[in-house]
Structure 1
């Protein structure tokens, strides 16, 4: 289920889980089916959270960890953690590789 699902869908999902039955939203079911039929492979970029993607974009735009923390109203440590997590998932070893990844994947464009 997606967190944007309507209340009735969430209730139906909980009822299915109580009966130990699977329950997928329409969007999730379509994605799973497309991946299965198309032999879709999950890439490292697919495993990034929205915040990890955003931190990559903001770093590529030249934002500092402090500026990102201020923008998100979080601590610098939180930004550093998101950045480190994204780098680990993407197997990047330096800030330069991090920024290059963003540019190559056009993540620095609005």
Structure 2
């Protein structure tokens, strides 16, 4: 049997020490390959353009938020627009809640702390590659408290929609939700869309944060 292709990752951070530390984590993972490094958002987009032309576009970008020339929020939005198959995981630190919100609204798949260990970095990458949500537990508690919207928003959901929200927060895809609830994938997709609409949210990651805030699931 042919071994599965490694998960290709682009690392973006303007601090070379942080960037090299992340690359060192990734180098010890057998099924992860570093596709390249970039020092800011514009450099990341240029690198992705080159990799795309070569047919070697990475699956995941590990993205710093505060960088010169183009920050992580703007770069995440551009990646979502120009490279829809690429997922972005934010590298964040405490005190960057506002930027985290903005990045999630522009398509980021999750976030982790810059001092995360190798296991957490790997978990975030694998989750993003599977189109799942990864939320660093410590940051999730703080960001969840800041999510805009009425705290009674869950009252607008039906029992089935609350169940859907819990499954979304657990990282299940529409197909997996359909299997879990024995419904069609189309029905699951409709339920997820209804949940996001009723809670005035724009992404599954934001839905997961609401579920954490409301105590439906534990951050992790």
Same fold (TM over 0.5): yes
Mapped partners of 2:211, 2:175: distance in 1: 19
Mapped partners of 1:95, 1:70: distance in 2: 18
Extract structure 1 runs of 4+ deviating beyond 3 A. Answer: none
List alignment gaps of at least 5 residues for structure 2: 1-151
Is the Cα–Cα contact under 8 Å of residues 169 and 204 in structure 2 kept in the other structure?
Answer: no
How many pairs align?
68
Is the Cα–Cα contact under 8 Å of residues 56 and 98 in structure 1 kept in the other structure?
Answer: yes
List alignment gaps of at least 5 residues for structure 1: 1-42
TM score, norm. by length of structure 2: 0.29
CA RMSD of superposed structures (Å): 1.7
Instruction: Indicate the residue corresponding to 1:47 in structure 2.
Output: 156
Structure 1, residues 35-59: CA drift from partner, whole Å, max 9, x if none?
xxxxxxxx33112011110011011
Q: How does 1:50-69 map to 2 (within 5 A)?
A: 50-69=159-178
Is the helix fraction higher in 1 or 2? 1
TM score, norm. by length of structure 1: 0.56
Say whether 1:74 aligns with 2:183.
yes
Mapped partners of 2:155, 2:213: distance in 1: 16
Q: How does 1:28-47 map to 2 (within 5 A)?
A: 43-47=152-156
Q: How does 1:1-110 map to 2 (within 5 A)?
A: 43-109=152-218
Is the Cα–Cα contact under 8 Å of residues 45 and 90 in structure 1 kept in the other structure?
Answer: yes
* Secondary structure in structure 2 of the residue aligned to 1:63: coil
* Secondary structure in structure 2 of the residue aligned to 1:80: helix
